[in-house]
Chain A
């Protein structure tokens, strides 16, 4: 009896230890014996620098009680105004709308509820259950902008400004301004609106990075906000460094990062080709439970991988800004497989280099 108890206990701790060693494939190989994915960032093992970087996640809201985000969240804000806000207007409650919330005739998948949580986990996940952000020392500033009724363009401008610490009428000043702003948002006009462009220039001058998903429009050109000048637009590549079929395709795309997609033939761990994210699932009784799973697919998830990477770099070089990144990006970018559908594209993927080239 005692023996079986000990055996059980031993197996339990062994399982925990194995789980603790699990490293998401997109960060690189945890051991020298494992083959890293061709598109892996190779940031695993790079310790964050002494400066804590705040990364704003402007998204559908964040569910704050997920164990993989424990210790990573700052107090955020709900920047969605009426009539899009089902809670009546802006407030400090940055949690998402309910899973089955509806808005008139508009019908939306419940996936929107967990989107912001999943995005945040790729930036600053604490490693619990194997959900490890690119920069485990980063702090997430959750800013809700998207709900069951969608979002407003004017709210997006306010959310970006507030995240950066700029004054926004009717909202308390953000006490923890972000150095990196992640926008896993897409749509808008085919060219960057003047107000949005001006705001992004203003932020660049303040050394604030704006990262935007290229969009899942199946090889169409970049939408807003990714098409704005000064934005780091992020397309998606698979684990073998090929541009994903769903990703926007445009020569203006700044860089590509692992975004997940089709399962690959490789028997290596990265053959799963989906990103490990913190999310929630609904159990038999209809209750939401936190989960950690390989389910991330889309440029929505490639963007936070890039945001996490830049925050990791900034944690070591807090005085640098987007202009410095542009000057030094030859150190961080490497070619991805060219694509026939865009012959004048020169797609580049994020990479921390080998043997500590990321300094």
Chain B
């Protein structure tokens, strides 16, 4: 009986864990320090953009294609500056999830890493999520991905 309860409990625990394991990565971008006085509250809350980009006025504005390009090693310029892309290990579930949203698979990063093209492509490898946050925060303009939407004075969700 107790074995049955334990196996049910395990099944429930696993089913709760499953969404975490397959969590959808959230794209995170460099935040821009906008002059709050220059923007009315209504303008900040109700700003529009072309649909490919974020409508938020306080993050760098990127399109899905920009993300696909930069994670494929194709240079992307944002406001005249090269875009930095931060990434975790190729087999990390968040890397797989993030790249999938762009139509890429992790082998793209593998190829770039093998060619030692990381620096030239403005791609930076980090080992965990806290370093991911630090990577986005320490480069500008930069993009990366995390397990949940994170907002600090340096980074914010891209979309």
Which residues does A use to contact B, with CB under 8 Å?
59-60, 99-100, 102, 104-112, 115, 146, 150-151, 153, 156, 184-189, 193, 213-218, 223-224, 245-246, 261-263, 273-274, 295, 297-300, 303
Contact = CB atoms under 8 A, between A and B. Distances in A.
A189 B77 contact: no
Contacts of A106: 32, 34, 57, 61, 79
A262 B50 contact: no
B52 interface: yes
Contact of A303 (B51, B62, B76, B77): B51
Contacts of B100: 245, 262
A107 B78 contact: yes
Interface in B65-96: 65-66, 68, 76-81, 83
Main secondary structure of the interface of B (DSSP, over half): loop
Contacts, number: 140
Size bracket, chain B contacts? 35 or more
A153 B64 CA distance: 24
A297 B65 contact: yes
Contacts of B152: none
Interface stretch (B8-16, B40-48, B113-121, B123-131): B40-48
Main secondary structure of the interface of A (DSSP, over half): loop
A187 B55 contact: yes
B73 to A, nearest CB: 16
Nearest to B76: A109
B46 A185 contact: no
Given A102-B79, A214-B51, A262-B103, 15 more contacts: A106-B79, A107-B141, A108-B78, A109-B78, A109-B83, A112-B63, A187-B46, A223-B55, A224-B46, A261-B101, A262-B101, A295-B65, A297-B103, A298-B52, A299-B51
A102 B80 CA distance: 8
Given A100-B77, A156-B48, A218-B159, A112 B68 contact: no
Contacts of B76: 109
Q: Which of B26, B34, B52, B104 has the most CB of A within 10 A?
A: B52
Given A109-B53, A262-B102, A300-B52, A187 B47 contact: yes
Nearest to B47: A187
Interface string B123-159: 0000000000000000001000000000000000001
A100 B77 CA distance: 8
A193 B45 CA distance: 13
A193 B57 CA distance: 19
Contact of A153 (B48, B51, B62): B48
Contacts of B79: 100, 102, 106-108
B77 A184 contact: no
B60 interface: yes
Rank and list the top 4 A-B pairs by shortest CB-CB distance, nearest first: A187-B55, A262-B103, A213-B51, A107-B79
A115 B62 CA distance: 12
A300 B50 contact: yes
B2 interface: no
B33 to A, nearest CB: 6
